[in-house]
Structure 1
Amino acid sequence: MVNFNGTLHDSSSNLLSIENRGYAYGDALFETLKVVHGKVLFWEDHYFRLMASMRIMRMEIPMNFTMEFLESEILKTIEANQLLKATSRVRINVHRIEGGKYRPLSNDIAYNIISERLASDFYSLNHNAYTVELFKDYYIAPGLLSTLKTNNKSINVLGSIFAKENNFDTCFLLNTEKTVVEALSGNLFLVKDRVIKTPPLSEGCLKGIMRKQIMELVTKLEGYTLEETAISPFELQKADELFITNVIIGIQPVTKYRKKEFTIDVSKLLLEKLNTKIRLS
């Protein structure tokens, strides 16, 4: 079942027209959530990121788009899909309504919510080999728009195809200054000599919800220092550990980049603290 503007429809229903602005111009935003037994993880952070993104995109935020309203719509959707007692991946899509070309006729919005089952309730560490390469065909232009979750994801699509064709699990993306920004589907953290680095938003990385959670945990991690700073490709092979974060996987350790193999000690430590934080919240 799909939630379209508050009404549930069979997932096979034809809900979006060819004139949909998200399809025609990428004039859309989305949030990907993890919902565990009816609890939306980090919901307040997701909600405020979505509201801030809609303001940046000059979308009209409906008066009823409160945190409570959207949460109830999420829960209504997963209940309709018999996922209320399971763990699910939920995506909220917000697009400007039809009309106009590049210049819209209205800034009003429509939304839809979709869900799918996930296997694991809490975050677990993937101990399988996970190899990464740089994607250098195209670059992210740093700026406010690059921090948003919009439908303009061409570089992520092309990078994913490149990774598959060359037997990599994912790729790191570079910005126009040739510094490492993030992975195809998550933020990057680098560990070297008890310093944990992650690129700042000014480098062009996504304003990730899990990025925020991990940064908060690192600041409380005894013996480690957090730095938001640019990361050069040269630093990747000098690192002790690399890991990628997003709200679905939690923490994904990188085991190999080119000829360098990495430890996963900090990833394991942070994942334990992340699950503890979730259980206590």
Structure 2
Amino acid sequence: MSLVYLNGQYMPPEEAKISPMDRGFLFGDGIYEVVPAYHGKMLGFDAHVARMRDGLAAIEIELDYSGDTWREICDTLISKNPGPNQGIYLHVSRGTDSKRNHAYPQGVKPTVFAFCFELPGEPTNDESTATSYQVSLEQDRRWQRCNIKSTALLGNVMHYQTGARAGNKETILFNAKDEITEASSSNVFIVKDGIISTPPLDNQILPGITRWLILQIVHSHSELKIQERVISKEELLNADEVWITSATKEVGPVVKVDEKVIGEGKPGPMWQRVQTLFTAHKFDY
């Protein structure tokens, strides 16, 4: 039977109870992470935990969980849930208060919740079997602290729904200057004339772990050129390749943005090269 983790205990999901006065429920006041694991081996675990700590510090939630504690929780959930490929969802809310008040309460113990969900399998670098993406494109209307991986994801959900309603799997976003920020649940890369580019990190963009891994891996191969720079909406639409990247997608090739076909309308050669390198080296960092 599948088990979840809640505040120091493992239990069946139907036994996990959280108060409706929990600030995660009332305000989306919390931080989360998703760590992928393939055949029991977690990808980017230390980087995910470091980003969670940064997020908790940014919203002033104090939690005394060490990296070893998080690793033990993840390893236990992997062992107690079926399936070779799993995502481990980690969630920390500020906790339960006696009243609803916008200000941070004092002396409230954080709520810690975690569970596993099945991943379909490791992404492939085979063009014929790879999952390719058709996406929507619209102006970014989320809050101005997107670098914090907050559980308050309504803005992202609404953008994602735009794509889903159009039959697409994602929505890529641009700001008021027509500069690409990210997608509703992914980071964005483009390829033009053999050069890989991704927007630089700032408050508009989540510092994705997969994005970071790609930068590390590509920088270690001198024959490849990669840069962090501002990317315009026009550049995206006229790119040779477009990718969306995340813990579960890895390097996801985009073949169509709204009605605009990207490149030849299929995963490109640079995607195949980088996904191959990512598969070979993703556990080295």
Q: TM-score by structure 2 length?
A: 0.89
Matches within 5 A, 1:1-281: 1-62=3-64, 65-83=65-83, 86-99=84-97, 100=99, 101-106=101-106, 108-120=109-121, 122-125=122-125, 127-136=130-139, 138-142=140-144, 145-202=145-202, 204-257=204-257, 258-262=259-263, 263-278=267-282
Deviates most, 127-136 or 21-30: 127-136
Quote the Cα distance in structure 2 between the aligned partners of 1:140 and 1:280: 34
Contact 1:140–1:175, Cα closer than 8 Å, also in 2: no
Which one-letter code corresponds to 1:261 in the other structure? I
Question: What are structure 2's unaligned runs of at least 5 residues?
Answer: none
* Cα displacement (A) at 1:141: 4.7
Displacement of 1:203: 5.8
Are residues 181 and 196 of structure 1, via their aligned partners in 2, closer, same or farther at CA, if it must alter by over 3 Å? same
Contact 2:32-2:151 within 8 A present in 1 as well: yes
What letter corresponds to residue 236 of structure 1 in structure 2?
L
Distance 1:225 1:199, change over 3 A: same
Aligned pairs, number = 273
**How large is the Cα RMSD of the aligned pairs?**
1.9
Decide which moves more: 203-212 or 171-180: 171-180
Distance change in 2, residues 1:19/1:278 (3 Å): same
CA offsets 1:12-41 (integer angstroms, 9 cap, x no match): 124112111111011011000111222221
Report the alpha carbon displacement of residue 222 of structure 1 after superposing the two structures with TM. 3.4
Counterpart-to-counterpart distance in 1, 2:141 and 2:47: 28
Equivalent pairs: percent with the same residue? Answer: 23
Shift of 1:242: 0.5
Unaligned runs of 5+ in 1: none
User: Is this contact kept in 1: 2:142–2:156, CA < 8 A?
Assistant: no
2:12 partner letter: D
Q: TM-score of the superposition, structure 1-length normalised?
A: 0.90
The 3 A distance-change label for structure 1 pair 26 and 77 is same
SS of match in other structure, 2:20: coil
Distance 1:75 1:168 in 2: 34
Deviation at 1:193, TM superposition (A): 1.3
Contact 1:93–1:111 (CA under 8 A) maintained in structure 2 = yes
Contact 1:190–1:243, Cα closer than 8 Å, also in 2: yes
Provide closer, same or farther for how the CA distance between residues 203 and 235 of structure 1 changes in structure 2, counting only shifts above 3 A: farther
Task: State the 4+ residue runs in structure 1 displaced beyond 4 angstroms.
Answer: none
